[in-house]
Structure 1
């Protein structure tokens, strides 16, 4: 009878957690004044938020609040399954410590035209750490418990290895536009009761969740190797190298910057004019594969001394795209269609234009053509080419028979 009651109570806790969620289980910023959200291993900002058990390099989360007043933010961590749904676990199953701790690392900007408060959080820390591998969601809440930021991160307990080979697409219509991977997983010494049903892999291009290939099961086993279907390989559009700009220095024009206008209360940067690249010849460009790096060459105050800059974009277009909008997206926007990044059409000059606020740094971006249903198309304005250099992230999950959560037992990065 006692055991039945315990199970019943745990079920109620799980239902309560699902019901009280007022946030998205994805990377998202909920309020306009929050800018420059970054999450990465400590001292390694080009990388993504992946914590490897055994390596134990902590993660560094940061953001700015342009309201420029001190606020009491709190943070919580949730374990998710491979589909980014809340796991069937109670908090004590996966956390050492308790959710709801106050975010204490903050400092005001120094000698910047637009003032802000910069917040930092190191995870794990003395108050909270995780016990299990898998997908996790970090949620930042304000004083009224409203979500202001959600950010995904991964905790991997490395148990397996991955073999990857790039092959020409088997579909001849995609020979020059797509990149295809053939993958297999080496289980090494790990015992898996039912590999064909318990193991699944997901693949991300440039750590972009919006168009990954998810939850693919192996087709057959050869010794300790799990093989996946070679006739339907992991195929992705190659796109083109990212557009980028560099505003780390404001003393001179840098990469793809046309002009810099420094005023007493604001700084305006105009980028070089851009064109539709769909159908244009492929050119290799220096990029960060969609990521961005905050930094400045002109301040001794680090993250608190970087200026916020109004960056002007222009995209040539003889006429507006019917029933479509154009957005500027990339890692800096969590690949979300934020209204601030929407372009407007200037009929007099035949341009799409936008002014977007960026903190000093190096940024990659794409133009996205978005229909009335919110579906976006990157190829329409960027094109796609099979020789583009991309990073592919392979995630290996296992849900053992009778288990209540998905373990992340493999994480690998492969360059095309």
Structure 2
């Protein structure tokens, strides 16, 4: 069996990523043609948008900077003038104040490319929002690619007996009519993402077979992911009465509280199909015409029944709304009287997917509570990187995406 490195990429590593402070909420980073993805993967020349709310209100001076990175998210050796036309470190000038909401906030918007900044090269990029003193506030990743290759994907049930019911293997075939691959075993690198997440990405995968100018990847274990389970969901577009997934809603002082139905661990239960949007969220509200500035914020109370977890176990809620991070703002704590884990997260009105995760002895397990099933519908994205002997950076020469709606053997 060929040996190669598979990297599980930490959320905060390499290109100096920064988690947003508590007063920055509802970070939405996506392309216009994909309302659910929180990771813009855009053909070079295409546009995408970042938006966020500052709960302090007012008019804060925010700026953006851009860093070009290699396939492994180490900053590349390129000068800014080599990958940007114009400049970065530009102030965000598009912002609006909330209207008729209990929670005041200022909504900021940034579209790239724009009159100040144009991209010249494909690759991985890190977008950093800074304050007037050039201190980083938060970061987000995005990828620019050229459609030089065609990527055909399929998702298979694991061939290993012990993983057959719990894992999904991603197989692919990469071809190009305009590029002749030179030394593809070293020049071509592939990254596979599950539900747009980088924390469990499989990286640096070489081709298993080379057939002419086609690169074939029919690995099993080497390109397999835990299947996980479908996401729970709730919708609180109407704060006057409970809607989908909401047990009760009420106003308490200057805030709304949405109490969700208590969920139970599912790892020991059979798989049940439940339509979801693969961990993402949408901002929707019945209280105004413009969700971006008329959407209200509410304390959303998540709860999970205790299923004989150890007192030392830590329980978290996660999804795209938390950037899939298992950090203190998203931790649930045991209500011993009710024997339920409970936690509040301040969220803008909308439709949200979520799951529960576990930390045991400092090690995160995203699927210990929900279970793993090969039937689970996930979105898989493949990025193809290429660096020949004359290149000083990793080009992104293609991408492919597939939902695992039909997992075959």
For residue 329 of structure 2, what is the aligned residue in structure 1? 340
Structure 1 stretches of 5 or more lacking a match? 1-21
Separation in 2, partners of 1:23, 1:230: 28
* Superposition TM-score, scaled by structure 1 size: 0.90
Cα deviation for residue 101 of structure 1 reads 0.4
Where do 1:165-314 residues align within 5 Å?
165-230=154-219, 232-263=221-252, 265-314=254-303
Separation in 2, partners of 1:413, 1:41: 15
Query: In the alignment, which of 111, 136, 144 is matched to residue 100 of structure 2?
Result: 111
Cα deviation for residue 302 of structure 1 reads 2.6
For residue 384 of structure 2, what is the aligned residue in structure 1? 396
Separation in 1, partners of 2:337, 2:159: 46
Where do 1:2-401 residues align within 5 Å?
25=15, 28-42=18-32, 44-47=34-37, 48-53=39-44, 56-230=45-219, 232-263=221-252, 265-317=254-306, 319-373=308-362, 375-401=363-389
- More displaced stretch, 249-258 vs 86-95: 249-258
Separation in 1, partners of 2:397, 2:17: 22
CA contact (8 A) 1:239 1:382 kept: yes
Cα deviation for residue 233 of structure 1 reads 4.8
Separation in 2, partners of 1:115, 1:25: 33
Question: When you count helix as a share of all residues, which structure comes out higher?
Answer: 1
* Structure 2 SS opposite 1:356: strand
CA contact (8 A) 1:73 1:103 kept: yes
Cα deviation for residue 229 of structure 1 reads 4.8
Separation in 2, partners of 1:31, 1:79: 24
CA root-mean-square deviation: 1.8
* Structure 2 SS opposite 1:253: coil
Separation in 2, partners of 1:266, 1:219: 56
CA contact (8 A) 1:181 1:233 kept: no
Separation in 2, partners of 1:318, 1:30: 32
- More displaced stretch, 42-51 vs 294-303: 42-51
Separation in 1, partners of 2:273, 2:200: 23
CA contact (8 A) 1:319 1:347 kept: no
Cα deviation for residue 372 of structure 1 reads 3.8
CA contact (8 A) 2:61 2:131 kept: yes
Separation in 1, partners of 2:302, 2:21: 23
Separation in 2, partners of 1:43, 1:372: 41
Question: CA 1:313/1:299 → structure 2, altered by over 3 Å: closer, same or farther?
Answer: same
CA contact (8 A) 2:283 2:291 kept: no
Separation in 1, partners of 2:310, 2:234: 25
Separation in 2, partners of 1:46, 1:30: 20
How many pairs are equivalent? 392
Cα deviation for residue 23 of structure 1 reads 8.6
* Superposition TM-score, scaled by structure 2 size: 0.92
Structure 2 stretches of 5 or more lacking a match? 1-11, 405-409
Separation in 1, partners of 2:387, 2:179: 14
CA contact (8 A) 1:61 1:122 kept: yes
